Chain A
Amino acid sequence: MIIVGERINSTRKPITKAMQERDSEFVLNEARRQWEAGSTYLDVNTAMMRAGEPDTMTWAIELIQAEIPQALIAIDSANPAAIEAGFKAHKGRALLNSINMERKRVQSIMPLVGEYRPRVVGLTIDDDGVTQDEEKRFGLGVQLVELLGENGVDQDDIFIDPLIFPVSAELQAGNVSLNIMGRLKQAYADVHLVCGLSNISFGLPERKLINQVYMVMAMARGLDGAIIDPLDKRLMANIATARTLLGQDKACREFLKTYRSGGLNLDPNPAKQ
């Protein structure tokens, strides 16, 4: 399971402030905690910095990789200059978050993919915007895999995001995304599936519970990447358990390791266990 730690995101107010003020300690603290919690990539989103995006991206990546040399970054921007600044600053192989099928996006970002060879998240969006239609989004996933392939990206380096919509607004929103995941996994066994989970629960109470349940359902349909808060212990415990149940954990070793490290102990009153 590929975990992209989502917390260093400029649309979160404390992060906006930390980025504006170049508060190294604040950003590093978020990085360290997420890394220790098991992130595969640390997402760095700079969108709110607007004209300052490229400089902020460089600053954040250099800062994090100086502190945690083995950490890899998910460069989260729609701004080609910020993306390129991120690639230049990054040591090792970054994850680009993201590209989609919009003509302008493809034109401005695909050349950078060719030059810097990152792994790539592809969103099932095109110039018509987002759609609730399963066929259309599945088709966009196929187009993305093919187009990225033509540009030299291996299937194992592609992460398709089928998009998730709130089930509070659209009855079948959960099923539609699950179906797209299942179909893409069947068509391309090596391509990864990733999603930003939390949209599913928008507009409802107990959002964490909804996110956790949906995550497990999606994993059963082939989801193997998630852009989440790895500090959510219950969510991480759900992921570890689901992997074991789906036969992705030989001799249940990861499950037992997580158990021994206390990662499965979700009782608010640990004295009882």
Chain B
Amino acid sequence: MISIVVFSLLSVLSVGMFTWKMRSIIAQIRLGKKTQRLDQPSLRFKTMLLVAFGQKKMFNRPIPALLHFVFYVAFIITQIELIEVFIDGFSGSHRIFYHTDFQQDYVFIISTIEVLSVLTFVATLAFFSRRNIVKLPRFNMKELLGWPRKDANLILLFELLLIIFIFTMNGADEASKLLQSNVGYGFAMSQYLGPLFFGRINNPEILEVLSKIGWWGHLLMVFVFLNYLPYSKHLHILFAFPNTYFSNLDKKGKFSNMDAVTQEVKLMLDPTLVPAEMTSDTIASFGAKDVNDLSWKNLLDAYSCTECGRCTSVCPANITGKALSPRKIMMDTRDRLQEVGKNNLNCMDGKSLLGDYITEEELWACTSCNACVQECPVNIDPLSIIVDLRRFLVMEESKVPSELTGMLTNIENNGAPWQFSPADRLKWTEEN
């Protein structure tokens, strides 16, 4: 009885806390500006299925893709077991599905989960060594120093603990059942692991305690994990789905059009035009200085980023030692957004994304080549943030690198980025 009460309280508390935190994250994302991402629902759905559900882009790099796929499948299939955990928890039963007509199916499902769990255990160790022993370059860049590295390792540690608890639960159950009836459950892994680890314990009560420790430990890890997600890069396991659904479906080369500018330029070209009524959208400042100047999709991108660094590893600027790292752009955006969140969604704290987080040097190193956008496994677009920040620098603050000022002046004066007269445009036709 007490356990049912404790279980219920823990569940409500954990789900409640998670919901509360998610609401604040969604409120932060809603600070972003409008952008149309609801057209072509079938194409969007297909993109989500391929990229998030099917992990299509992950498979450009087969080894991490395979390791990650093990995690992913194990995570999804384990949710079936979680259903039983909740029923057992609320009703006080023990392995309720085992005691039904579907016993064989149950053993099969738990066995599948066990095999996947063992594979996940191995994958976790592989991931851990890639980060900490092999030291893959993209996991050892300066933007990952401190909390991001701890965050990544913490998630791996949670994963290991979770699996250890699952096998403590199943193994002790197997050993206990064997001890009492000579016939175990027959779970694929714990029918061997159980006797191996707990076979020498001849006391069914101790085995029951061990099984309970496994069960509660497992449950606790699930609750910890759930509530850790919103604070971690690991939020991608949820946000990958909406983030790919709301992907940019245009050609990557197309930059967003600033309609407010179109209005003004049209008036300049034709003074007889009657200006359309100014709406609140058109009076906004040009470009982005802070997170609330970005679109909500940029902000969703920031929360969907799992800091894998594929973007940075293909960035021509980063490869050649420049200050720019597209991953850092996303991490900075998220960090600043969280800061604004703590500030009751108020951006007026004297700080801003541009300047305090992202420097001009980083922005001017970008070649707009779209390699980062292409590479992201969950369709994050760091380039659109870079462009919006550049727009603010240039149009609001007139901070343009001096050579570019010359280029822009030439375009304005003679319609070419260099100082040539339009009259000379046909010279090539006279040459051989």
Q: Do A and B bind each other?
A: no
